[in-house]
């Protein structure tokens, strides 16, 4: 099944380190550089007319690290200081779903995907999500 970004306003909860480490990060480049490029790309996506009705929340494990502005257009960066990113994503997704928001989690963690499925939240694999984002005019 091909994933097409929906036209319905959706909150995407993205497992940040999971996405960066799963396929974007390659040897010879720092994880920080790849993370910065991904966040810049996602900010550009959030401003694109095809995607500007969505909110992209990128959740990172651990304490705050310098990644630039935490709020950029439709991109919001969160640090799960007390919990793991997985737990944060699960709790936030469950709450948003129960509140009537359309939410999709982006993670390669199969345990998290299963937990989300049990509460009715859709999950996408990181690479599938990333590859589906096509900017207008590019």
Quick count: other Cβ atoms within 10 Å of Cβ 17?
A: 16
Task: Give tens-digit pLDDT for 65-99.
Answer: 888 888 999 999 999 988 899 999 999 999 999 99
Residue 73: in which H helix or E strand, if any? none
pLDDT at 1: 35
Mapped onto helix, strand or coil, the DSSP state of residue 34 is helix
pLDDT at 105: 96
Residue 106's nearest CA partner among 127, 75, 78 is 127
Is pLDDT above 70 for 11? yes
Fold of the domain built from segment(s) 11-132? Rossmann fold (3.40.50)
Domains of the chain, by residue range, sit at 11-132
């Amino acid at each position: 099944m091909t994933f097409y970004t929906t036209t319905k306003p959706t909150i995407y909860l993205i497992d940040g380190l999971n996405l960066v480490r799963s396929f974007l990060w390659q040897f010879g480049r720092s994880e920080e550089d790849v993370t910065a490029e991904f966040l810049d790309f996602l900010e550009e996506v959030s401003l694109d007319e095809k995607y500007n009705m969505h909110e992209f929340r990128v959740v990172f494990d651990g304490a705050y690290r310098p990644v630039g502005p935490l709020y950029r257009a439709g991109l919001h960066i969160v640090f799960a200081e007390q919990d793991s990113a997985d737990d944060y994503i699960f709790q936030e997704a469950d709450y948003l779903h129960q509140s009537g928001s359309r939410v999709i989690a982006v993670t390669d963690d199969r345990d998290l995907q299963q937990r989300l499925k049990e509460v009715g939240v859709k999950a996408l694999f990181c690479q599938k999500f990333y590859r589906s984002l096509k900017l207008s005019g590019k």
